[in-house]
Structures are given as C-alpha cells and as structure tokens.
Amino acid sequence: MRRLVLTLTLPVICLSIHAEQTGRISGKVLNKEGKPIPGAKVNLKRIDRNWSKDLIPDKNGNFLQVGLEPKDFTMTVTAEGYVTYTESPVKIPLADVIVKNITLLTPAEARTQAPSGGGQAAAEDPGAALDSQGRDAFNSAIPLYNEGKYEEALPLVEQAYKTLTEAAEKLKDEQAKAELAPELLKIERVLGICLAQAGAKKEAAEPYLLKALERNPKDERVVIGLIETSKAKADKAAEQKYLALLETLQGPNPDLIYNKGVEAFNAGKTKEAKAHLTKALEVDPKYAEAHYLLAMVEFGENNLKGTKHNLQKYLELAPAGKNAATAKDMLKDPSLKNIK
C-alpha cells in the first residue's frame, strides 16, 4: 500500500516543484496625484542576456507579468511628458511576487523634489510650480484631443498654454527653459487646432496655426484647422488655397469635390456641377450620392441615357439610401424605362 501511495503522489510533487521555478512582478504606474497615466509603458530587460518585454498598464495603472525566471532585471517605466524611471537590478523572487508601485514625475515635479540625502531643499524656482501645473493640464487634455473631443480639451489646453507661457518667463533654471520651449510649440499647435474645431471664435486659431504650418508645411491637421478658420472669416480665397493644399497632401478627396458639385448645382451652375461630380466619381466610382446628383444634372440637360445609368448605379450602391425611393419612381417613368 505504501508503494502505491508514493506512486500516486509523485506527480503532484513534481507539479509543485515545477510551479516554483518562476516568479511574478506586479504593481501600478501612477502620477503624483495617484491617477493612472495614459500611454505609460513598463519594460523588463534581463541583465544576463538579451531578452526584454514591454508591459502596458491597464486603465487603472495596474500591470502584471508571470512566468519570469528568478533572475535580475532592469525595469524602465516611460510615459510622454514624464521623467523616465529606471531601477536595476530588480530581483524576481522564486515562486513569489514582487510588487513595484511607481510614481512618475513631470520634469518640473522632479526638479522641485527635495534632495534624498536629507539636506535642505534648494531654493524653489518661481517658475517650477507653474511648469508643473501647465504640464499636468496638458497631459489631462491629450486623451480628449486624441479622441477628437476638442470642446472638452480646449479649456485644459488654454490653461496649459497660459500657465506654461508664464512659467517660461519666470523660470530661473536655464535648462528647464530650454526643455520647455519645444513643449510650448507643441501646445501652441494643439491650441490652434482645438480653437479651430471648437472655439467660439474659430478665427482666433489662425495665428497659432500659421506658425505651426510654417514649422511643418505637411501638417494635415493644421491645414484642416486653417480651412475652418477661413470659413469662419468667410474668406473664400483662403479656403480654396488650404483645400488645394490639403488635396496635395492627402490626394483628391471625393467628399470635398462632391461638396463643390453640390454648391454649383444649388447655384444653378450645372456644367460646373457636372465637372465636379464626374471628378468625384473618378476618385471614388462607388460614391453613391455623386451618382444620384449627376443623374439629376443629366436629367436637367435631357440626357436620359446618362440619367438612367446614374440612377441605376445609385440603387446598386445604395439600395436603401435616402434617395432610393425617388430613384425607383423615376426609373418607372416610360421616358426612362424604355432607354437602353
């Protein structure tokens, strides 16, 4: 019986031994206020050989990695707008978990930290606190901006720009000033885009956007913003200029071309409308609404064959479209029904 018991329990013992060959690391990545940081990344790199892995914290800032050999690692934590955190060595325990809760600091926060040796803190730079406040506001705005929520992002971006502009004037640390200068240019660009998309006075965005375009003439989001400011100013010449620039950067845009066709059609300029609609269909042959409006233009010119062809294409592409019922009724008319 003893032999039988030993034989039965041996696999369990083996499994237990195998399970204890690895360790785990877990923790959180938060900012100074204890909030998770969007876009943070944790990198683990073996010291003894070429192996590394990136961990992306979840929406609450938590990260976890299991199955790590009990070796020494270098841990690096990064996030845009924050000082990189590095710790080495991080010793992974055998059959246990090591917890690492990391607080990332902005450059301004890092500069205002008291020395770890216990000595007296250096005299506080009057611009450092403003630097920290401005960067925090901008970091809060970025997720909203990236999601296209310009109206929600705008107050935060305005606060960031105002605060950091003041910080740049008051900072005594020349290195801090140098680091802040390019950040202000980035914020200026984002401010212009937000104002153009959601500002009460969109034309206020123009000075910021023009500077951004000068720095990068291929910045599509800036060009789109300038199209909006031109519309707000009712400056048709500027609007056409930036529309042409956007087309150069993106290639022909069937929506923009179609809209020109609609404008021409509504103004009674059927030849001009036909040219725009034909061009839109050259760019996108499956543009259903362009086929429908072109059918209306052809019908107005008594080109029944062209009318029928475009109505049929419209129904082929958009059988349940908003103009489907009208298209079907027109095709039932004897004048079109008998056209081949």
Reported as a pLDDT band with limits 50, 70 and 90, residue 11 is very low
Residue 1 has pLDDT above 80, yes or no: no
pTM: 0.54
Nearest to 74 by CA among 59, 66, 84: 84
| Residue 112 within any structural domain of the chain | no
Which of 207, 223, 249 marks a domain boundary? 249
Least confident piece of the model among 50-64, 246-260, 282-296, 303-317: 246-260
Mean of pLDDT over the chain: 87
Give the helix ranges, DSSP H, for 150-253: 150-170, 174-198, 206-215, 220-232, 236-250
Q: State the Cα angle at 287 between 282 and 292, rounded to 5°.
A: 105
Query: Do residue 133 and residue 244 come from a single domain?
Result: yes
Query: Do residue 256 and residue 245 come from a single domain?
Result: no
Residue 180 has pLDDT above 60, yes or no: yes
The count of domains in the chain is 3
Domain of residue 228 covers: 128-249
Residue 116 has pLDDT above 50, yes or no: no
- Decide if 40 contacts 78 (C-beta within 8 A): yes
| Residue 181 within any structural domain of the chain | yes
Interval 219-234: pLDDT, tens: 999 999 999 999 999 9
Residue type, 252: P
| Residue 62 within any structural domain of the chain | yes
- Percent of the chain scoring above 90 in pLDDT: 65
- Percent of the chain scoring above 70 in pLDDT: 90
Query: Do residue 142 and residue 232 come from a single domain?
Result: yes
Query: Do residue 244 and residue 258 come from a single domain?
Result: no
| Residue 14 within any structural domain of the chain | no
Query: Do residue 153 and residue 196 come from a single domain?
Result: yes
pLDDT for res 318:
94
For the segment 326-335, the average pLDDT, to the nearest whole number, is 90
Q: Indicate which CATH number applies to the domain containing 169.
A: 1.25.40.10
Query: Do residue 237 and residue 304 come from a single domain?
Result: no
Interval 127-154: pLDDT, tens: 888 888 888 889 889 999 999 999 999 9
Query: Do residue 333 and residue 256 come from a single domain?
Result: yes
| Residue 116 within any structural domain of the chain | no
DSSP per-residue letters across 204-219: GGHHHHHHHHHH-TT-
Residue 159 has pLDDT above 70, yes or no: yes
| SS3 of the chain: helix, strand, coil, percent, to 5 | 60, 15, 30
Residue 206 in tokens: 């123009």
Query: Do residue 176 and residue 202 come from a single domain?
Result: yes
- Decide if 208 contacts 157 (C-beta within 8 A): no
Residue 203 has pLDDT above 50, yes or no: yes
**301-304: long-range pairs with CB below 8 Å, 24+:** 301/270, 304/335, 304/336, 304/339
Across the chain, the runs of DSSP E, i.e. the strands, are 23-30, 41-46, 52-55, 62-68, 72-78, 85-91, 97-103
Query: Do residue 39 and residue 53 come from a single domain?
Result: yes
Residue 170 has pLDDT above 50, yes or no: yes
Residue 237 has pLDDT above 90, yes or no: yes
User: Residues with Cβ < 8 Å from 278, sequence gap 6 or more?
Assistant: 294
Higher-scoring residue by pLDDT: 113, 321 = 321
pLDDT for res 112:
67
Residue 13 in tokens: 């013992």
Residue type, 145: Y
Query: Do residue 243 and residue 258 come from a single domain?
Result: no
| Residue 314 within any structural domain of the chain | yes
pLDDT for res 8:
38
| Residue 143 within any structural domain of the chain | yes
Which of 249, 278, 297 marks a domain boundary? 249
Which of 37, 72, 105 marks a domain boundary? 105
Q: How far apart are the first and last CA of the chain?
A: 95
Query: Do residue 275 and residue 167 come from a single domain?
Result: no
Residue 205 has pLDDT above 50, yes or no: yes
Query: Do residue 215 and residue 235 come from a single domain?
Result: yes
Nearest to 214 by CA among 243, 244, 188: 188
Residue 114 has pLDDT above 70, yes or no: no
pLDDT for res 281:
94
Q: Indicate which CATH number applies to the domain containing 37.
A: 2.60.40.1120
Interval 78-108: pLDDT, tens: 999 888 999 999 999 988 889 999 999 988 7
> What's the alpha-carbon Rg for the chain, to the nearest Å?
31
pLDDT for res 145:
92
| Residue 113 within any structural domain of the chain | no
